[in-house]
Amino acid sequence: METPTKPLLPYHAGSQLRAYADGILPEPDPARAGYSQSSLGRAFLDLKVAVPLQVGDGTPVQVFTVVLCGSSGEKKYSELKMQPQTLLVAKAFDPLYCYDGDDRYLDAFREVERLYAHEVQSYQVLSDYQGQGIPKFYGSFSLCLLVSGTTSRREVPMVLIGCVKGSSMMSLKPEQIPQSVRQHILRTMIELESSIYENNVDMLDLAPRNTMLIRPDGVKPEVVFIDFADVQFRSDRHYWDGDIPRKLSSQYISPLLRWKGGPRMGFEGWADWDWDSWLEREFAHTKNTITPEMGEHWLGGGQSICEFERA
């Protein structure tokens, strides 16, 4: 059977888009942690695509920068915490372009729904990290897109986050960066990842491509994580189908356990020193947080937790 031709991607530079507010906005709820569901009605924003960043068929998350051109509805810019002509990053979870023709048997709607839900929930859980460690979250929206060849429209879930001015670690050449700076970067990255993990967000997709460095040419660049679509939540009962003890959720797990053996997930080329010796020096202050149960899980039967106690 011939695969139907897809319409051209609507996320190219200069495209005019309209996004309706879904009601998940960065409004703190004093009664509980995280965000409140705000009654926005159907306020909308008019957006203009500035630069496509990750756009194409076979891509479940379309990423591009947008400029805010106008707003209407019951809520205006001031209540959406935005200013006219602000440059933001949009992430559109579009099932139409989720898979290419070879993957058409997969459930694209379920996949983008999962990715979108994880992205939004992560920003809710990690609200205290916004602007320092993760981008600022401006809310979730629904893009209203015209169906090609018809007068019908379809809605695509989207989030808006702040732009991070810096460089992805994937775009940099670690051999051109002094070792002392690379050690600062990896130490900062591990501290941030470990803190986020303590908040029950397991960044399974952490990689150089979604790790940004602010002022990468400086002595102490800042680290920012920009992708939370493919995380898992340690508070989710399905997360504990494996052998990790459930009661370890919401607990700090020392990098001496989780990062032992060397950097991974594409960061291997950033470390050209004795990793474990360096890790033990940098995170020696976390030894007293390691319980026998943690040691049993992360060290397994090959090494005793007593080795940390003697060090």
Q: Which residue has the higher pLDDT, 221 or 23?
A: 221
- Cβ(203)–Cβ(231) under 8 Å? yes
Boundaries of domain holding 89: 16-162
305 shares a domain with 283: yes
Query: Residue holding tokens 């756009």?
Result: 55
289 shares a domain with 234: yes
> pLDDT tens for residues 277-304?
999 999 999 999 999 888 888 887 544 4
Name the percent of the chain lying above pLDDT 90: 57
DSSP state of 74: S
Which pLDDT score, from 0 to 100, does residue 137 have? 94
Could you give the CA distance from residue 114 to residue 116 in angstroms, rounded to a whole number?
6
DSSP state of 78: G
> pLDDT tens for residues 30-71?
444 444 444 445 678 899 999 999 999 888 999 999 999 887
- Cβ(168)–Cβ(212) under 8 Å? yes
Question: Strand, coil or helix: what is 89?
Answer: strand
Classify residue 243: in a domain, yes or no. yes
217 shares a domain with 149: no
Q: Say which amino acid occupies 78.
A: S
94 shares a domain with 132: yes
84 shares a domain with 29: yes
Please state whether 230 falls in left (phi above 0), alpha (psi between -120 and 50) or beta. alpha
**For the residues of 28-77, what is the DSSP string, one character each?**
E-TTSSSEEE----S-EEEEEEEEEEE--TT-SSEEEEEEEEEEESS--G
Classify residue 11: in a domain, yes or no. no
Could you give the CA distance from residue 263 to residue 247 in angstroms, rounded to a whole number?
26
How far does Cα 235 stand from its chain's mean position? 18
Could you give the CA distance from residue 169 to residue 266 in angstroms, rounded to a whole number?
10
How far does Cα 192 stand from its chain's mean position? 13
Angle, CA 106 vertex, CA 101 and CA 108 arms, to 5°: 90
Averaged pLDDT score across all residues of the chain? 84
Could you give the CA distance from residue 139 to residue 55 in angstroms, rounded to a whole number?
21
Mean pLDDT of the region 109-122: 93
Give the predicted TM-score (pTM) of the model: 0.85
88 shares a domain with 219: no
85 shares a domain with 206: no
123 shares a domain with 183: no
Q: How far is CA 302 from CA 176, 206, 295, 298, 299, in A?
A: 37, 27, 11, 10, 7
The CATH number assigned to the domain holding 28 equals 3.30.200
